[in-house]
Amino acid sequence: MLKILFLLTTVVLSFFYRAQENISITYTGNMGVYISGSQFSVLIDGLHTKYGDDYLFPTDSLVNKITTQLRPDAILFTHYHGDHYNSELSEKYLKTNHKSVLFGPEQVTKSIGNLKNNIYTIGTKDYIKQNFNLGNTRITGLKIDHAGKKHLSVENVGYILNIDNKKILHVGDTDWLVELNLFPQLKLSDEAIDIAILPYWMLLHDNASVLIQKYINPEHVIATHISPRIIEQELLDLKKKYPKIYFLKTLEKQIQL
């Protein structure tokens, strides 16, 4: 009887502590985030170089820290634009960290050299979710169209990460794209998203709060892709309008959720 009671107590405590585990999210510039759980870590859009004055990029010291200290198990890229992805930095990272893998659309993965065993390509012909299991972590990739008519040919993908029983969504450079009926097609509200990482311009829509709740329904929202040259009052106004949303603008700012 005591053995059964001990076993039940252990199971309950184990479940409780797992439920209490926090995900750590560290900002690496533009839409770049390093996401760390108890046993697995991911870098999304985190290896790129200076692209222009409106884009914050990881410094050389931060890139070195990512490569030699943080060492994410997977590096993910939403699309090939230079404020999200750099092929030389990515290839160097994979050669230094042999067990790590890279995810991206074909416009990203085709630029990587002789490292095909470490590469996973996300298809963009339709909006079907593509699942990959890496140990206890699931990475789901799916097409989420790039914002702007001039970027129709850009393969932009989003990711849903299932780490430590939490689901994190990263959408890359998209927008609500009502004309494409985009978000109703994605059915993200069915995914029980805990954390949604969105470009800040999605908050500029008059009905952003309603749209986020209706089409994503996350517990937490993190806004990124904020220009270093944004007028401070504009950012303050956004923070007042969305007091519960986290805004990432400072390199290596960390959030525990």
pLDDT of residue 149: 92
Q: In angstroms, rounded to a whole number, what is the distance separating the alpha carbons of residues 34 and 116?
A: 23
pLDDT of residue 125: 97
pLDDT of residue 67: 97
30-51 mean pLDDT: 97
Per-residue pLDDT tens over the stretch 189-233:
999 999 999 999 999 999 999 999 999 999 999 999 999 999 999
Q: Categorize the per-residue pLDDT at 117 as very low, low, confident or very high, splitting at 50, 70 and 90.
A: confident
60-72 mean pLDDT: 98
Contact assessment for residue 140 and residue 129, using Cβ atoms and an 8 Å cutoff = yes
The pairing of strands 220-224 and 246-247 is parallel
Global pTM reads: 0.91
Nearest of 131, 141, 138, 97 to residue 115 by alpha carbon: 97
**Residue 130 pLDDT exceeds 50:** yes
**Residue 8 pLDDT exceeds 90:** no
Q: In angstroms, rounded to a whole number, what is the distance separating the alpha carbons of residues 149 and 36?
A: 35
Task: Classify 25-248 by CATH class.
Answer: alpha beta
pLDDT of residue 87: 96
